[in-house]
Amino acid sequence: GDSVTQMEGPVTLSEEAFLTINCTYTATGYPSLFWYVQYPGEGLQLLLKATKADDKGSNKGFEATYRKETTSFHLEKGSVQVSDSAVYFCALSPPNTDKLIFGTGTRLQVFP
Amino acid sequence: DGGITQSPKYLFRKEGQNVTLSCEQNLNHDAMYWYRQDPGQGLRLIYYSQIVNDFQKGDIAEGYSVSREKKESFPLTVTSAQKNPTAFYLCASSMTGGAYEQYFGPGTRLTVT
């Protein structure tokens, strides 16, 4: 079945460092891909999404490109801030469904 | 403001008791979802509903029940049959018919002792 695999955390970085969180997926057809963020004690918020191959989603300095050939959707940010500390979830939505399939999440900790 | 509300934020129950978690949305979304979140396991889908008076089981529906009598409301009951009910429960809603964003509530942390 469809699935999402994320790198295990925690990812620990100093402020202004470059961030990459890896995400790969297994799916039939062309799913839509998402990154959600969860701050401590809260629900999830959509960070960015891409709906077709080679699309780049971007928001708040974060970017991810839908790579069909490598079945990947890696999250990147050029310069992280302490306020980016959170758990990041990669997810996919199979074609013709409204459901989401989530990865296990990656905790990011940014220190001053 | 439009959004999703879940109540209460923290809930404590004794083993053997049923408990109902509330989820309300004023986003006029047709679809609503319940997820369970456990440490290191991401989110797992319990039940979802795409229209009033209809709902489907997700991946881990055993020990849970839902109803969808109104578009705005999708309460989840955790029954005594659920073996490990202690978890963080998240409700979400979305439009239907495409890869639409799911909007999440703040969650309810349920502890059963």
Q: Please, are residues A6 and A95 in contact by the beta-carbon 8 Å criterion?
A: no
The CA distance from B20 to B85, in Å, is 12
The CA distance from A68 to A108, in Å, is 26
The CA distance from A9 to B62, in Å, is 30
pLDDT tens column, B34-91: 999 998 778 999 999 999 999 999 999 999 999 999 999 999 999 988 899 999 999 9
Asked if pLDDT for residue B1 goes beyond 70, the answer is: no
- DSSP readout, A49-84? EE-STT-EEEETTEEEE-BTTTTB--EEESS--GGG
b (16+ CB within 10 A) / e for A2-39: eebebbebebebeeeeebebebbbebeeebbbbbbbbe
Q: What angle do CA A49, A62, B106 make, to 5 degrees?
A: 65
Of A42, A89, A103, the CB nearest to B106: A42
Q: Does A100 touch chain B (CB under 8 A)?
A: yes
pLDDT at A97: 85
Per-residue pLDDT of chain A (112 residues; tens, 9 = 90+): 899 999 888 999 999 999 999 999 999 889 999 999 999 888 999 999 999 999 999 999 999 999 999 999 999 999 999 999 999 999 999 988 888 999 999 999 999 9
Please, which residues have CB within 8 angstroms of residue B39's CB and are 6 or more apart in sequence?
A: none
Q: Please, are residues B37 and B91 in contact by the beta-carbon 8 Å criterion?
A: no
Q: Does A17 touch chain B (CB under 8 A)?
A: no
Which chain B residues are Cβ-neighbours of A102 within 8 angstroms? 42-44
The CA distance from B94 to A76, in Å, is 26
* Interface touch A43/B42, C-beta < 8 Å: no
Kindly identify which residue of chain A lies nearest to residue B90, measuring between CA atoms: A43
